[in-house]
Structure 1
Amino acid sequence: TEHDVWHLLDNKQLQMTKLMLRLNHITLVADAATVGTQLTRVLGRGVAPVTILNGIDTEKFSPSLNHKRYKYRSRVFKIGCAARLVTEKSLDILIKAVADIPNVELYIAGDGPEKQNLTNLVQELDLSTKVKFIGYTDDMVGFYHQLDLFVLTSSNEGLPLSILEAQSCNVPVVCSDVGAVHEGVCKQTGHLIKLNTVNEFHVAIQAQMKRRTEHYPRNFITKHFDIRMMIKAYNQLIKE
């Protein structure tokens, strides 16, 4: 199963994958339709992956019963991101995007080699009271339950589980439109950023703070990305 394609830009990875597909009888699965199309383009027209959408445990990732819906300026608006702290996640864009938005707090879960650079950026912008690095956490459900909005600024992605988990907890998302991210974003509650710039995210976050909707992203996730649907699809593929 392939979860993204951008790693195949590395020629060694590309040639190893092509060799594996030639030497063995392998069924190639893509976890999103966009990933499948990209795999065919990169690996050649003879490669036709089966698409089985990524799935999450929607019973585990369920909405908080205690989280009160944000009303404009009623309290601090809490934004979160969960990701490895690497350059591909472009977290510097997110930090800069919230810098001039009042009444906002940003919580970043995860660790990685970019942590010191990101910490330095927060200090340079005097955002230490607004931006919090909480490190690696085992309690992702508790993390999502704190949030009013989940933001993903990645420059490369497949179909990330984090946006599915957040929306399953009824947290809307704002995401860069890369890879297969668009397939996993609820159109009624989420927002896709075409240009991965500070200003685009700044405007989108402010719009989400004012947004009122009767739609809930969880409905979209339970319909398309429940892990039981994924398991059923893999079991059917094995039988075939």
Structure 2
Amino acid sequence: MQILVMTDKLDFGGAEMYFCKLENFLQDPKINFYFAAGQGELYGKIKNKHRFYEMSRTNHIQNVMNLIKIVTAEKIDLIHANSLRMVLYSICVKKMTGINFKIVYTKHNVTILESKSQRVFTYLINKYVERVITVSDYEKNSLVEAGVKAKKIKTVYNGVDLNQFVFHRKAKEKFFNIGILARLSEEKNHELFIKIADQLRDKTEFMFYIAGDGPSKQKIINMIDFYKLSHKVKLVGAVQTPEEFIKGMNLLLLTSYREVFPMVILEAMAVGTNIISIDRGGINEAIIEKHTGFLIGSHSAEDFCRKILQMESDELIRNHHIENARRKVEDDFSLERMVKNTLREYWNC
């Protein structure tokens, strides 16, 4: 079998990191793998460059024509699309060539087409996509409710490389570090993170760290200045080694307005960093309340603060969550499990 795995671009992001994991670790003696993506910072992580095709980030017609050449020359049997755009490219190639390859679509987020015209989105998936891989059961159930045929959908959880995200037991230190690692954008709700820091400003042992980059950076800086928290809240910028940032935190917060299934949760569970998260999307499939972390039902700074104070004061709770979280990652969210289950879906098409 000849399989082409594609994604939009090689910037830092959930879908892009997922693509890189597949590129690095997919192996099957009966399958030849090829890969295609737009330019980006993650290009250095590509291992099989002799089987990698670079796509344009803006010229869609050129991309479709190049894909026709690849599909024809390599006799592709299946395309694994890691964005809806890649699905649309694949449909165009099928229409223009008449080649009956199969399409597998891993759905990482809510698409623009889906939010604007759910009927069109559902029609395209049901008609042209052989298999939809969702990264959480929450997303799977949402697709079924939208009208996508249930038999097409399979949840394959994203996997953590446990050799990269190594478990680290923290020593008692002077400061209790509380962090957030997310794109600096509106949906990640850094305003709530800063309000939490403001309410806990008198706890001198607490320090707050914001990792990431994005369009809301200046707004976040302005908020920190407004609350006079520059001594308490630090921006560390984009991080190339997320495992080091997460490992350096005693507690990781997730405050987003919406999520599907954020990878940073699994990474924190792997390295031994406690988590308090908003309960959105499929997060509760990894964070089991009072077992692997704490879940907050609403965007309430007061509720977050209560759980933070409880976590900081009770070492038994912290250790209980840490040990259970690491065990759950090993059992359910390992990279090896993700690759194995993805291969299974290829063969089941």
Scaled by the length of structure 1, the TM-score of the pair is 0.90
Distance in 2 (CA, whole Å) between partners of 1:156 and 1:25 is 26
Pair 1:56 & 2:164 matched: no
Within the candidate set 85, 97, 100, 2:184 is matched to 85
Distance apart, 1:11 and its partner CA: 0.9
Deviations 1:187-210 (A, max 9, x none): 424100001111111112111111
Distance in 2 (CA, whole Å) between partners of 1:160 and 1:174 is 13
Distance in 2 (CA, whole Å) between partners of 1:149 and 1:91 is 16
User: Structure 1 pair 9/200, CA: closer, same or farther in 2 (3 Å)?
Assistant: farther
Name the aligned partner's letter for residue 218 of structure 1.
R
Name the aligned partner's letter for residue 144 of structure 2.
T
Ranges in structure 2 where 5+ consecutive residues have no aligned partner: 1-105
Distance in 1 (CA, whole Å) between partners of 2:343 and 2:328 is 23
Larger RCO: 1 or 2 (CA < 8 Å, sep 6+): 1
Within the candidate set 194, 199, 214, 2:297 is matched to 194
Scaled by the length of structure 2, the TM-score of the pair is 0.63
Ranges in structure 1 where 5+ consecutive residues have no aligned partner: none
What pairs with 1:1-240 in structure 2 (closer than 5 Å)? Answer: 1-5=106-110, 10-12=115-117, 14-15=118-119, 17-42=121-146, 44=147, 46-48=149-151, 49-64=153-168, 67-68=170-171, 70=172, 75-101=174-200, 102=203, 103-187=205-289, 188-213=291-316, 214-215=319-320, 216=323, 217-240=325-348
Query: Partner of 1:178: helix, strand, or coil?
Result: coil
User: Structure 1 pair 183/88, CA: closer, same or farther in 2 (3 Å)?
Assistant: same
User: Structure 1 pair 15/133, CA: closer, same or farther in 2 (3 Å)?
Assistant: farther
Query: Partner of 2:131: helix, strand, or coil?
Result: coil
User: Structure 1 pair 223/111, CA: closer, same or farther in 2 (3 Å)?
Assistant: same
Query: Partner of 1:85: helix, strand, or coil?
Result: coil
Deviations 1:73-126 (A, max 9, x none): x62110111101111111110111122321211111111111111111111111
Which structure has the highest strand share of the two?
Answer: 2
Name the aligned partner's letter for residue 50 of structure 1.
K
Which structure has the highest helix share of the two?
Answer: 2
Distance in 2 (CA, whole Å) between partners of 1:189 and 1:52 is 20
Distance in 1 (CA, whole Å) between partners of 2:257 and 2:192 is 10
The answer to whether the Cα contact below 8 Å between 2:178 and 2:251 also exists between their aligned partners in 1 is yes
Alignment RMSD (CA, Å)? 1.9
The answer to whether the Cα contact below 8 Å between 2:122 and 2:148 also exists between their aligned partners in 1 is no
Query: Partner of 1:221: helix, strand, or coil?
Result: helix
User: Radius of gyration: which is bigger?
Assistant: 2
User: Structure 1 pair 94/11, CA: closer, same or farther in 2 (3 Å)?
Assistant: same
